[in-house]
Chain A
Amino acid sequence: MSFIRRAFLQKRVKGEVGMTNHQHTWRDYALIVLPYLWMILFFLLPFLIIFKISLSVSEIASPPYSPLVTFEDGAMQIILHLENYTFIFTDPEGTYIRSYLKSIQVAAFSTFLCLIIGYPIAWALATAKPAMRNVLFMLVIMPSWTSFVVRIYAWMTLLKRDGLINDILMAVGIIDHPIQMLQTDFAVYVGIVYCYLPYMVLPLFSALMKVDYSLIEAAYDLGCRPIKTFFNTLIPQTKSGILAGSMLVFIPAIGEYVIPELLGGKNSILIGRILWQEFFNNRDWPLASAVAIVMLIILVIPILIFYKIERKEQEGLNARK
């Protein structure tokens, strides 16, 4: 009996829930092996290596870090350096701690901005006429298919001191001298919102497509005010979309490098920039690795939330089948 058919049968009989693995043949594993091995080799293993390197110290060598395991006089020596971690937390200038906090703040606020901007957009898309919806959907997605750097570059030209926005504001007479927009946190927010908005809109859109709009009508019929209706009917129904979208914006924004580098100023030292500098400019790989590990620890909860949503989605869809 072929493995595909067995998979079908299992699905039929057990309804996909509580399925066990003991009946899988070598064929199943043959299918799994390529993607699985690939991901383990090039995705899971690297994190172990990051962890390993974060426990060593920088050396002028190739590779530029001290070996973890050394052989001296025939005896194996394992030297674990925790200096990198202690340095991150006890740095006299507090650069690392500050940039972590700054990253979290920027990421959280831009996630919030994306949410309040993205929600109406997703709503407008989801409730538009089907033919119109396709066009609008494509139009909203299209910018994210153009080059990321190019999009940031576009905002640079707009936000410059002699850029278009300043020109227009001066011409209208709102301001009489150009205001500094580029190299501020404002520019970073604009950049993040501009680049990550589609990642927020997409899950919200698919969540809003599933919403039972008769509930809203019912709420109105029962005399519910619009704001209360929104919070009591729409928000609960789109919770998973809100969470997924927020995670899709928040997690990458934490480590964002390009946007603060190009649009941000001296104040916009986010942790991604620190990591990059440590790695490329200072060539301190162990410290960069430690920075990455701490960042991962910060991100564990958001990643797990996202993973759970993904899992639920997968199981929900499978069960529905």
Chain B
Amino acid sequence: MLASKERNSTIMRAVIIVLTLIFLYMPIGILVAYSFNESRMVTVWTEFSLKWYKELFQDAAIIKAVGISLFVAFFTACTSVVIGTLAAFVLVRVGRFKGESLFVLLMTAPMVLPEVITGLALLLIFVTLGSQFEFFANRGVWAIWIAHVTFTSAYTTVVIRSRFRELDVSIEEAAMDLGAGPIKVFFAVILPALMPSEVAAFLLAFTMSMDDLVVTSFIAGPDATTLPMLIFSSVRRGLSPEINALATIIVFIVSIFTFFAWLSMVKSQKRKKADAAKAARAEAVEQNTHFMAPHGNESIDPAKKLSDNEMKLLMEQVNALKEGRDIANEVAQKLKSLPEAKRHVAADKMEVSDIDDDETNDETESDKSNEVELDPGVVELEGDGQDWADLARKARKASLDAYRANVEAETREKTNEAMISALGESARTTTAVTRLASTDVAEAGKAKVVDLESKDSKEDTVAHQKAHQFAKDQAQKESAAATKEAAEVMISSGSNTVSSTTKNSISTIANMAGIGGNNKANQAAPKQATTTSSLEDAKAKKAALKSAMNQAIEQQSKVTDNNSLESSSLQSATGGQATTASSLALKKTNKAPSDTFSAKDITKATTDQAKSLTDKAKVVDTTKK
């Protein structure tokens, strides 16, 4: 039904357009055709001939009239564009002024007023002025020029004004802020931006001046006969193939101009489109920059060119991202199938979480301090705060560098599409995965805890209810707690697989950020794996790290011993690389299936629930004290 309606309207459109074009072009086409006719009879075709063109070019009166018309039209167009620009400027930028209504009326009326009235009015002013000034008395080409400027200015004003409105005022303001005077601003900023409309207005004024018959007939003295006047008087005498030839030439010139006008229109539209896309991309980049480094005021030039080497690196990075996205997808698939089995276990986790929750609530003091620390960018830490601040700064710089590389890559033709799609895809999938992971993995982690402790005997229904509410109200704390538990379990069990997966995730994160911290991270990781004690210390450190939200990869390598586990998860929370990093972490953890969840747990849950993690850490910290 709808489709048929659509088709109907398409057919209707085609019919209308064809009929319109026939109506508009048939007379002109026949005119052109008969210009090549041998016979003097305009309506009877005899044979092909160019003799009327020959006669046309030998006709001195026509040549002279063409000369006068071109002369007048050129100067009319120039003057009219100047007046139109001034008028447009006044109308658009100066705003209301005394007599503005009259001004608008004066600029509007010539467009609609019957030509006979305009012509008569102009003639009478010339006659009146002519009695005073010799200049106006002779009514030659200059009088025609004045008359033409008067009525074409209205049109040029409209054309230029409509473009003027679209100009971005902020560019002019910027130019002025940089010290350009109003005149310089006009010629350096406004005029170039107006150029297309200036050209259009020029052509319009030129054509109108070339074409005008009635006004010119009133004005023109005996010496100044323009082309339309000549055509008119000749047509009034009767039809003549010479006029056909002349008309053909006019049509030919006009169609060439039309073609170029169309071409430039298409071009400017393409440019507009490209500009819009560029602007959108720049905006996206800017947003990303803020996300990456909320306090970074380094500006990134998206147009900056990259060396081949950098390009290669970036391409690799893009490929890695793509790969990460694929893996993330895979993991997402696996995760989706997992939770079913574990859902019923969720009831049991209530116990653990509730306890944690209570603990947290007891420690209001630590909560407060935690808030301060969490304020991103504010690096106020106790103890080794200086070091952390330094690290954080370095980390931010490093991540900015890495990010800038990304941004630059974005501007490259080749990587553009791939990068954006890869980033978008991976962001989307990893968000989904993260969501899944943070709940399901938490469940898994808790399931383990529960399995270990295995003394839970709450009623299933009650637990389910609680679980449901809990998941709703305190999702953050829940998964954070789960993370903690999982980590505890992991570390206390001290298995080698844990260490390997953790190491992997750390190194991949380091890799992703493009920082050469892998080695150190690798060195640090095994140590950590063997460490089974001082979880509390680790938690405390983690809290510190957490609060310095912007820390990134470099820090990783410097964190000692058991910190590295937590810092690795922190890395993923650091910002821009979070999604990609976690996707890659997922990739790695996927390869070590035995502990997929615990490792993932650490990366994911921490990413999402940084705050509550810190809560827990604080709790641990204080209890330890």
Cβ B27 vs Cβ A194 within 8 A: yes
Cβ B97 vs Cβ A255 within 8 A: no
Q: Residues of A contacting B120 with CB < 8 Å?
A: 50, 275, 279, 288-289, 292
For the complex formed, measure the closest distance between the CB of A95 and the CB atoms of chain B, giving whole angstroms: 16
Bound: A157/B236 CA distance, A: 13
Q: Does B343 contact A (CB under 8 A)?
A: no
Bound: A121/B21 CA distance, A: 10
- Which residues, 107 to 121 on B, are CB-close (under 8 Å) to A? 107-117, 120-121
Q: Does B99 contact A (CB under 8 A)?
A: yes
Contact with A34, one of B16, B86, B108, B122 (Cβ below 8 angstroms) = B86
Contact with A150, one of B116, B247, B258 (Cβ below 8 angstroms) = B247
For the complex formed, measure the closest distance between the CB of B102 and the CB atoms of chain A, giving whole angstroms: 8
Q: Residues of A contacting B94 with CB < 8 Å?
A: 3, 7, 24, 28, 31-32
Q: Does A155 contact B (CB under 8 A)?
A: yes
- Residue with the highest number of chain A CB atoms closer than 10 Å, among B96, B98, B227, B243: B96
Q: With A16-B95, A140-B20 as given contacts, are A43 and B110 in contact (CB-CB < 8 Å)?
A: yes
What does DSSP make chain B's interface, helix, strand, loop or mixed? helix
Cβ A49 vs Cβ B121 within 8 A: yes
Cβ B153 vs Cβ A38 within 8 A: yes
Q: Residues of A contacting B112 with CB < 8 Å?
A: 247-248, 251-252, 302-303, 306
For the complex formed, measure the closest distance between the CB of B525 and the CB atoms of chain A, giving whole angstroms: 57
Q: Residues of B contacting A40 with CB < 8 Å?
A: 106
Q: Residues of B contacting A314 with CB < 8 Å?
A: 91, 104, 161
Cβ A35 vs Cβ B153 within 8 A: yes
Cβ A151 vs Cβ B255 within 8 A: no
Contact with A148, one of B82, B147, B213 (Cβ below 8 angstroms) = B213
Cβ A156 vs Cβ B89 within 8 A: no
- Which residues, 250 to 289 on A, are CB-close (under 8 Å) to B? 251-252, 254-258, 261-262, 272, 275-276, 279, 285, 288-289
For the complex formed, measure the closest distance between the CB of A321 and the CB atoms of chain B, giving whole angstroms: 7
Q: With A47-B121, A157-B34 as given contacts, are A128 and B13 in contact (CB-CB < 8 Å)?
A: yes
Q: Does B50 contact A (CB under 8 A)?
A: no
Bound: A247/B13 CA distance, A: 26
Task: Encode contact with B along A1-23: 1 for CB under 8 Å, 0 otherwise.
Answer: 01111011011000010011100
Bound: A136/B115 CA distance, A: 29
- Which residues, 39 to 86 on A, are CB-close (under 8 Å) to B? 39-47, 49-50, 53, 63
Cβ B247 vs Cβ A147 within 8 A: yes
- A40's nearest neighbour on chain B, judged by CB, is B106
Bound: A248/B173 CA distance, A: 38
For the complex formed, measure the closest distance between the CB of B188 and the CB atoms of chain A, giving whole angstroms: 13
- A152's nearest neighbour on chain B, judged by CB, is B235
Q: Does A146 contact B (CB under 8 A)?
A: yes
Bound: A308/B269 CA distance, A: 31
Q: Does A230 contact B (CB under 8 A)?
A: no
Bound: A155/B149 CA distance, A: 30
Cβ B90 vs Cβ A4 within 8 A: no
Q: With A43-B110, A142-B254, A147-B247 as given contacts, are A155 and B13 in contact (CB-CB < 8 Å)?
A: no
Residues of B in contact (CB 8 Å), total 105
Cβ A42 vs Cβ B86 within 8 A: no
For the complex formed, measure the closest distance between the CB of B550 and the CB atoms of chain A, giving whole angstroms: 36
For the complex formed, measure the closest distance between the CB of A1 and the CB atoms of chain B, giving whole angstroms: 10
Bound: A308/B312 CA distance, A: 62
Contact with A153, one of B86, B92, B117, B243 (Cβ below 8 angstroms) = B243
Q: Does A172 contact B (CB under 8 A)?
A: no
For the complex formed, measure the closest distance between the CB of B269 and the CB atoms of chain A, giving whole angstroms: 7
For the complex formed, measure the closest distance between the CB of A235 and the CB atoms of chain B, giving whole angstroms: 18
For the complex formed, measure the closest distance between the CB of A12 and the CB atoms of chain B, giving whole angstroms: 8
Size class of the A contact interface (CB-based, 8 Å) = 35 or more
Bound: A2/B189 CA distance, A: 15
Cβ A21 vs Cβ B235 within 8 A: no
- Which residues, 24 to 80 on B, are CB-close (under 8 Å) to A? 24-28, 30-31, 34, 42-44
Cβ A310 vs Cβ B104 within 8 A: yes
Q: Does B462 contact A (CB under 8 A)?
A: no
Cβ A8 vs Cβ B173 within 8 A: yes
Q: With A138-B261, A163-B43, A262-B236 as given contacts, are A255 and B116 in contact (CB-CB < 8 Å)?
A: yes
Q: Does B372 contact A (CB under 8 A)?
A: no
Contact with A31, one of B5, B86, B255, B257 (Cβ below 8 angstroms) = B86
Q: With A44-B106, A47-B121, A157-B31 as given contacts, are A303 and B43 in contact (CB-CB < 8 Å)?
A: no
Q: Does A239 contact B (CB under 8 A)?
A: no
For the complex formed, measure the closest distance between the CB of A293 and the CB atoms of chain B, giving whole angstroms: 9
Cβ B235 vs Cβ A153 within 8 A: yes
Q: Residues of A contacting B269 with CB < 8 Å?
A: 130, 134
Q: Does A299 contact B (CB under 8 A)?
A: yes
Task: Encode contact with B along A114-131: 1 for CB under 8 Å, 0 otherwise.
Answer: 000000110111011011
Q: Does B83 contact A (CB under 8 A)?
A: yes
For the complex formed, measure the closest distance between the CB of A277 and the CB atoms of chain B, giving whole angstroms: 11
- Which residues, 1 to 32 on B, are CB-close (under 8 Å) to A? 5, 9, 12-13, 16-17, 20-21, 23-28, 30-31
Q: Does B280 contact A (CB under 8 A)?
A: no
Cβ B122 vs Cβ A157 within 8 A: no
Q: Does B185 contact A (CB under 8 A)?
A: yes
Q: Does A135 contact B (CB under 8 A)?
A: yes
Q: Does A164 contact B (CB under 8 A)?
A: yes
Cβ A150 vs Cβ B231 within 8 A: yes
Q: Does A236 contact B (CB under 8 A)?
A: no
Bound: A136/B370 CA distance, A: 67
For the complex formed, measure the closest distance between the CB of A8 and the CB atoms of chain B, giving whole angstroms: 5
Cβ B93 vs Cβ A4 within 8 A: yes
Q: Does B181 contact A (CB under 8 A)?
A: yes
Q: With A2-B176, A8-B173 as given contacts, are A255 and B250 in contact (CB-CB < 8 Å)?
A: no
Bound: A147/B169 CA distance, A: 39
Bound: A272/B250 CA distance, A: 27
- Which residues, 522 to 566 on B, are CB-close (under 8 Å) to A? none
For the complex formed, measure the closest distance between the CB of A2 and the CB atoms of chain B, giving whole angstroms: 4
Task: Encode contact with B along A215-247: 1 for CB under 8 Å, 0 otherwise.
Answer: 000001000000000000000000000000001
Q: Residues of A contacting B91 with CB < 8 Å?
A: 314
Cβ B23 vs Cβ A194 within 8 A: yes
For the complex formed, measure the closest distance between the CB of A106 and the CB atoms of chain B, giving whole angstroms: 13
Q: Does A98 contact B (CB under 8 A)?
A: no
Cβ A39 vs Cβ B153 within 8 A: yes
Cβ A43 vs Cβ B116 within 8 A: no
Cβ A134 vs Cβ B266 within 8 A: yes
Q: Does B291 contact A (CB under 8 A)?
A: no
Cβ A43 vs Cβ B96 within 8 A: no
For the complex formed, measure the closest distance between the CB of B207 and the CB atoms of chain A, giving whole angstroms: 5
Q: Does B214 contact A (CB under 8 A)?
A: yes
Cβ B262 vs Cβ A135 within 8 A: yes
Contact with B16, one of A36, A120, A311 (Cβ below 8 angstroms) = A120
For the complex formed, measure the closest distance between the CB of A138 and the CB atoms of chain B, giving whole angstroms: 5
- Which residues, 242 to 278 on B, are CB-close (under 8 Å) to A? 243, 246-247, 250-251, 254-255, 257-258, 261-262, 265-266, 269
Bound: A32/B85 CA distance, A: 11
Q: Does B239 contact A (CB under 8 A)?
A: yes
Contact with B211, one of A147, A292, A317 (Cβ below 8 angstroms) = A147
Additional A-B contacts beyond A272-B116, A314-B161 (7; CB < 8 A): A10-B95, A19-B96, A39-B103, A39-B106, A150-B251, A252-B115, A292-B121
22 A-B pairs within 8 Å (CB atoms) are namely: A4-B93, A8-B93, A16-B95, A43-B150, A47-B121, A49-B121, A142-B254, A146-B247, A146-B251, A148-B211, A148-B228, A150-B243, A152-B235, A153-B235, A157-B30, A157-B42, A158-B26, A251-B112, A255-B114, A275-B117, A311-B104, A318-B92
Instruction: Kindly list the 5 A-B residue pairs having the minimum CB-CB distance in the complex, ordered from nearest.
Output: A255-B114, A46-B121, A154-B27, A39-B106, A251-B112
Task: List chain A positions with a Cβ less than 8 A from chain B.
Answer: 2-5, 7-8, 10-11, 16, 19-21, 24, 27-29, 31-32, 34-36, 38-47, 49-50, 53, 63, 120-121, 123-125, 127-128, 130-131, 134-136, 138-143, 145-158, 160, 162-164, 167, 194, 197, 220, 247-248, 251-252, 254-258, 261-262, 272, 275-276, 279, 285, 288-289, 292, 295-296, 299, 302-303, 306-307, 310-311, 314, 317-318, 321
